[in-house]
A = this chain, B = another copy of it.
Amino acid sequence: MIKTAEQYVKDLRDGRVVYQDGKRITDVVAAWPKSVERAASEFFVATIPEHRPLFTMMEDGEECSFAFKMPSTPEDLQRRREILRVSGELGAGGSRLTGIDGLNGVAFGAAKMDRAMGTHYSENMAKYRAWCKKNDPSIVAAVSDPKGDRSLHAEDPRQANKDFYVRIVDRKKDGIVITGCKLHITAAAIATEIMVLPSRNHNETGKDYAVACAVPCNAKGVSFLCSQGSVGGGHPMIIFEEVFVPWERVFMAGEWQFSREIATSFARYHRLTAATYKVGQLNALAGLASLMAKYNGLTKATRIRDMLGWFAMYATVTEALGKAAALSGDVDPETKQARPNPVYTNCAKYWFASQWHEAMKYLQDITGGIAATIPSMADWDNPETRPFLDKYLRGAAEYPTEERIRAIHKVIEEGATFHGVLSIHAEGSLSTQKQVLFQQADWALFEAAAKYSLGYKVDHPEFKNRLGLGNTLWKMPESLLKGKK
């Protein structure tokens, strides 16, 4: 069933506990109408004929969101990319950017765990997925823990407290009780379900930290602390104070051996999501740079063209890698679950993340000092000052001043710390990408190529049937060498 936009909005008034900028927010709809509207649009768009075939599917005679399908082919992964792309361009959504990746990541880890350890979490997951298809919730993944001292394990007694990672504080007959905090949970305050999963590996002594489960946003003991000054709550901290979770919503409870597997399975999906939604942002960024160059009359300068060429590349490479990651995804033979190619996704993520600050430097370079000193839009609205702005902040004569001023304000917004931090930390840090690339790349192929180039025979399938070593595929007959006729 597809939830209506109206129902989504109504469901947000469920008694959830939300704080922002020093105050309790009692009605999130009234607090952030625009954000809620934008999120609700995602449900609306799935109902209109133009987009319905992309956003929904039929299962057992029932229409439901394609988002909840367990991906079983590379094409499924690419279709999810397409859904994200269209949503992004429509300005819709935002409330389940992470949750589907959480669902699929936990599902994969649980299936593997069940096989290895004899647990039965996949059954819970199957029921939960069916519930999702029926109820069409807005769902977020809650992954990042606050960590405290990063050089210490969760359970290290030198940590200032035990709760720097969400943990099981009690196990009851009908469920578990969890305490802790998750950080940076995009759109969590306007979602309905939270998929909690571990952010890293844990040891046997820290097995209580190995926990994955689904929690409703209005569960007792859950509080949201929203990002300062954000619309829609931003990316809240979620506090869990002795929150009870019934067993049927638990997907891991102590199996520390699979904590890392679940964390990385989520990440593998989520980096593809990143490599998807970023394309829209980077396309607009390239366009913004181009417009600013035009407003400023700079499009003939070689150094500006060089930068614009670079912006085109910045967006294009991200798009090419994201698409390659989906279409080169593999299907796990045990679980039949499709997963994106991890090397391409990490290349994509590292590529856009590592260049963001450089992009801002270029954009600010093109824009000029005015991006540090511009008066506010209120001065544009003030009839006393608008003539001054209109006259002096005009750029090339063919463009209206207002357009240039709006673009400058957009440049300021893009350059905020928020976007820089999001680029490098969301979906895993720069350091993580490089380490994952180190772990996942096809070193057997690379080393075989290297050894072959050093003149050694190698056993690699791509090289072992080579007809000869180095340059001697075909051996020149002595007679030819001497030129005898």
A420 touches B360 (CB 8 A): yes
Quote the shortest CB–CB distance from A383 to chain B (angstroms): 10
Question: What are 30 sample pairs from A and B whose C-beta atoms fall under 8 A apart?
Answer: A6-B480, A9-B476, A19-B375, A19-B382, A20-B375, A21-B376, A27-B483, A29-B483, A30-B482, A33-B481, A45-B467, A91-B473, A148-B394, A149-B397, A151-B396, A160-B396, A164-B394, A225-B385, A228-B378, A237-B392, A286-B443, A287-B448, A287-B450, A309-B435, A313-B347, A320-B321, A357-B357, A364-B421, A369-B425, A407-B450
Question: In whole angstroms, what is the CA distance A288 to B449 when docked?
Answer: 8
B298 touches A301 (CB 8 A): no
- Interface locus among A36-44, A73-81, A209-217, A250-258: A36-44
Question: In whole angstroms, what is the CA distance A35 to B476 when docked?
Answer: 11
B90 touches A30 (CB 8 A): no
Q: Which residues of B contact A229 (CB under 8 A)?
A: 376
> Which residues in window 140-195 of A have CB below 8 A to B?
144, 146-152, 158-161, 163-164, 181, 183-184
Most chain B beta carbons < 10 A, residue from A226, A324, A381: A324
Q: Given that A397-B158, A451-B287 are contacting pairs, would A309 and B441 also be in contact in the complex, using a CB cutoff of 8 Å?
A: yes
Q: Determine whether A415 belongs to the interface, using a CB cutoff of 8 Å to chain B.
A: yes
Q: Which residues of B contact A389 (CB under 8 A)?
A: 225
B420 touches A364 (CB 8 A): yes
Q: Given that A148-B396, A286-B441 are contacting pairs, would A21 and B183 also be in contact in the complex, using a CB cutoff of 8 Å?
A: no
Quote the shortest CB–CB distance from A35 to chain B (angstroms): 8
Q: Determine whether A128 belongs to the interface, using a CB cutoff of 8 Å to chain B.
A: no
User: In the complex this chain forms, how many copies of it are found?
Assistant: 4
A382 touches B22 (CB 8 A): yes
Excluding A90-B467, A291-B451, A364-B420, 8 further A-B contacts by CB distance (< 8 Å) are A22-B379, A30-B482, A280-B449, A287-B443, A364-B425, A369-B421, A413-B417, A415-B417
B287 touches A474 (CB 8 A): no
Q: Determine whether A243 belongs to the interface, using a CB cutoff of 8 Å to chain B.
A: no
Q: Which residues of B contact A29 (CB under 8 A)?
A: 480-481, 483
B309 touches A436 (CB 8 A): yes
Q: Which residues of B contact A456 (CB under 8 A)?
A: 403
Give per-residue flags for A453-464: 1 if the beta carbon is below 8 A from chain B beta carbons, else 0.
111100000110
Q: Give A151's nearest chain B residue, CB to CB.
A: B297
Give per-residue flags for A253-276: 1 if the beta carbon is below 8 A from chain B beta carbons, else 0.
000000000000000000000000
Q: Which residues of B contact A350 (CB under 8 A)?
A: 313
B361 touches A357 (CB 8 A): yes
Q: Determine whether A131 belongs to the interface, using a CB cutoff of 8 Å to chain B.
A: no
